[in-house]
């Protein structure tokens, strides 16, 4: 059996991040759950603790330097056995390029691009000292941008570039880098998107967070002779 995972999961208070944390917990992993909402983090951690070796929470807004710096110090001093880093935190906004404000673009850049870049950079010495794994939860918009997604898709294309370049830089250290590109998934963010677009929200026709979580867990548990680099996953029944 593979060694238990020691994972930091950002965006773990709900949706895909929470599902990934619970999936890692199910195989006896040790977890640090990161998100902005302490109450929802604690709820997710309580679910994870049913099977995890341990599960702690660290409330932080990764769109701020203070939030990232605090998390890095916590991981280095209190969670220094990290071997898995899952980037799932992100924010989303829809709208045409004409109507999406620069402030919205900047906010998405800070959370969707800058935060995973800075956090990965700060933790690389720890990650490179082990046969570690880094997972970037991207989006189908990171492969093909659609109308009214220019700002958001731009951040996801940038995230893809970070992952692809990083993989070539650190594979020699035995570190694997995975990007996941989910289609629409039944999460609070997507529910809000449907409402904003005036569409009927039918979560049963979408990907489920657990679908993404099981995909991530399966790749994390692969023998070290293999690396999955990119996974595109979409709902079986196209609903939009």
Active site residues: 152
Dist CA 178 CA 105 (whole Å) = 25
H, E, C per residue of 30-41: EEEEEECCHHHH
Instruction: Give me the phi and psi of 131, to 5 degrees please.
Output: -80, 80
Angle formed at CA 143 by CA 19 and CA 195, multiple of 5 degrees? 60
CB within 8 Å of 173: residues ≥ 6 apart: 128
Angle formed at CA 144 by CA 138 and CA 147, multiple of 5 degrees? 110
CB atoms within 10 A of CB 133: 24
């Amino acid at each position: 059996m593979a060694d238990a995972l020691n994972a930091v999961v950002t965006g773990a208070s709900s949706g895909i991040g929470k599902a990934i944390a619970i999936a890692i917990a199910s195989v006896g992993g040790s977890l640090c759950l990161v998100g902005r909402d302490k109450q929802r983090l604690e709820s997710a951690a309580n679910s994870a603790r049913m099977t995890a070796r341990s599960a702690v929470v660290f409330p932080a807004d990764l769109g701020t330097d203070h939030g990232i710096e605090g998390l890095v110090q916590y991981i280095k001093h209190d969670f220094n056995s990290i071997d898995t880093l899952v980037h799932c935190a992100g924010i989303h906004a829809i709208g045409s390029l004409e109507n999406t404000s620069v402030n919205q673009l900047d906010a998405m850049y800070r959370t969707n691009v800058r935060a995973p870049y800075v956090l990965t950079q700060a933790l690389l010495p720890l990650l490179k000292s082990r046969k570690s794994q880094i997972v970037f939860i991207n989006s189908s918009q990171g492969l093909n941008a659609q109308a009214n997604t220019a700002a958001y898709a731009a951040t996801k294309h940038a995230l893809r570039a970070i992952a692809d370049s990083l993989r070539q830089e650190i594979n020699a250290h035995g570190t694997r880098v995975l990007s996941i590109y989910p289609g629409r998934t039944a999460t609070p963010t997507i529910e809000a998107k449907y409402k904003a677009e005036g569409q009927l929200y039918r979560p049963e026709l979408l990907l489920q967070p657990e679908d993404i979580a099981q995909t991530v867990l399966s790749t994390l548990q692969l023998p070290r002779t293999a690396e999955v680099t990119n996974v595109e996953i979409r709902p079986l029944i196209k609903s939009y």
